């Protein structure tokens, strides 16, 4: 697996003439430069590509019209002016890197292009976002061993893991049409579920709505049908990473999942954050991919020296909850769990490689969810199913409220960031969703 080396864009001493990018708590320093699709709020403008810098967005459509950049970077900026980033994502790692370098140089202190680029900025508070790309296909993995063991033990205490779990990156095919951007309303789904004390199921509105703290892997240049992606080449096909919340109706899911896995309990909605952080931006936060003693060694097609050396990524993950009562009393959202992607049992490269090993073709904009990311401790659970032990022990909030599952009006806020103390914080922004009542029910 070939991973690019650190370059001048990663220099931790770099500063930007956009002063908010130099503040220590920003998610978007000049070393980050993530991509999104945006337009001016409440306008009829076309959505176009932008890059986050501090509390601003660099409008790549305007940048392209000025011809500030040259060669590959100018071509890439022009593609980013389109209504989705798919064409840019298809251009490959060398082009992505060329545009990143040009933007980095243009936004640095004492850049000769400051005056021109200053006219291409829009405050993030004045923007609204669309999905960054057309998602043709969505696959959700089950890649956290901690999550698999803890949820499995809730329902199968004697045999929490399936025999194949430690050998194969398990996944199911999700629903691409119901992927939405952050802040989209989350309507409680209806469906068929088991009725306590009855031999027959019933139909109704889900009462066990849950979130899942995941990362989304956004594919760039794809592969041809029938041609697998080798693990040494897997990350060349990955454009970047975003936050992902695969909302789940646990009562619907529990009844329908056997024998083929999740369906309506998951397909009603999946949220992603607006900003895609490129793999290049994450380079300083790579870690060795290590498993505990006694764990099976991955099969050859899922293993490489580079994957062992730096296949993992050190990304802090945080979930906060804001209840209607908190909001009424002007309280801030309360952090209810923390975890880290470095604990994931399978790496990004392994997920991509396994997905394509049968010849499946991945295309620009395709989305791979990592599955719920959980740490080894109970308080590191990436969903309420874990934190509340399937509702048996509701979690206690500081204002006296409790939650087994989400209630109407609850807002879930997810954040992710890299911060190893040696460089700037590389953040993912926020992923927000507020739960509301079902739109319709078959029984209405």
Question: Where does the pLDDT of residue 158 fall: very low under 50, low under 70, confident under 90, or very high at 90 and above?
Answer: confident
Cite the active site residues: 147
Is residue 100 pLDDT above 70, yes or no? Answer: yes
Q: What's the CA gap between 287 and 418, in Å, rounded?
A: 12
Q: Report pLDDT for 423.
A: 85
Predicted pLDDT of residue 162: 92
**What pTM did the predictor assign?**
0.96
Are 223 and 352 in contact by the 8 Å Cβ rule? The answer is: no
pLDDT the model gives residue 292: 87
- Report phi then psi at 171, rounded to 5: -155, 165
Tell me if the bond preceding 203 is cis, omega within 30° of 0: no
pLDDT at 3: 62
Partner residues linked to 51 by β-bridges: 35, 58
Q: What is the pLDDT of residues 104-144, one digit of tens each?
A: 999 999 999 999 999 999 999 999 999 999 999 999 999 99
How large is the C-alpha radius of gyration of the chain? 22
Residue 441 has a pLDDT of 55
Please give the angle made by the CA atoms of 387, 390 and 392, to the nearest 5 degrees: 90
């Amino acid at each position: 697996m070939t991973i690019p080396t650190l370059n001048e864009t990663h220099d931790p001493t770099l500063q930007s003439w956009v002063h908010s990018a130099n503040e220590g708590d920003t998610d978007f320093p000049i070393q980050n430069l993530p991509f999104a699709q945006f337009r001016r709020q409440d306008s009829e403008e076309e959505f176009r590509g932008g890059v986050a810098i501090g509390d601003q967005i660099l409008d790549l459509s305007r940048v392209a019209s000025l011809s500030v950049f040259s060669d590959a970077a100018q071509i890439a900026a022009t593609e980013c002016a389109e209504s989705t980033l798919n064409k840019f994502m298809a251009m490959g790692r060398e082009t992505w890197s060329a545009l990143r370098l040009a933007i980095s140089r243009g936004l640095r202190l004492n850049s000769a292009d400051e005056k021109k680029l200053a006219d291409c900025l829009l405050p993030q508070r004045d923007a609204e976002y669309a999905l960054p790309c057309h998602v043709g296909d969505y696959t959700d993995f089950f890649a956290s061993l901690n999550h698999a063991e803890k949820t499995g033990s809730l329902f199968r205490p004697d045999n929490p893991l399936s025999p194949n779990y430690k050998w194969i990156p398990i996944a199911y095919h999700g629903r691409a049409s119901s992927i939405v951007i952050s802040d989209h309303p989350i309507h409680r789904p209806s469906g068929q579920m088991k009725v306590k004390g009855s031999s027959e199921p019933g139909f109704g509105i889900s009462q066990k709505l849950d979130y899942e703290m995941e990362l989304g892997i956004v594919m760039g240049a794809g592969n041809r049908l029938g041609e697998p992606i080798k693990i040494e080449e897997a990350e060349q096909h990955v454009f970047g990473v975003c936050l992902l919340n695969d909302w789940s109706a646990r009562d619907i899911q529990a009844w329908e999942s056997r024998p083929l896995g999740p369906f309506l309990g998951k397909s009603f909605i999946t949220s992603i954050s607006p900003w895609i952080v490129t793999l290049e931006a994450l380079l300083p936060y790579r870690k060795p991919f290590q498993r505990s003693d006694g764990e099976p060694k991955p099969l050859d097609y899922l293993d490489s020296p580079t994957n062992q050396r730096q296949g993992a990524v050190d990304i802090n993950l945080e979930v906060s909850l804001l209840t209607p009562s908190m909001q009424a009393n002007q309280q801030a959202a309360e952090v209810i769990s923390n975890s880290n992607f470095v604990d994931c049992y399978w790496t990004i490269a392994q997920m991509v490689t396994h997905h394509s090993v049968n010849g499946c073709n991945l295309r620009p904009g395709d989305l791979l969810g990592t599955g719920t990311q959980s740490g080894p401790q109970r308080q590191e659970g990436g969903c309420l199913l874990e934190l509340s032990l399937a509702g048996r022990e509701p979690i206690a909030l500081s204002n006296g409220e409790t939650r087994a599952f989400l209630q109407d009006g609850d807002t879930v806020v997810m954040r992710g960031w890299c911060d190893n103390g040696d460089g700037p914080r590389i953040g993912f922004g926020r992923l927000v969703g507020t739960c509301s009542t079902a739109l319709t029910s078959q029984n209405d």
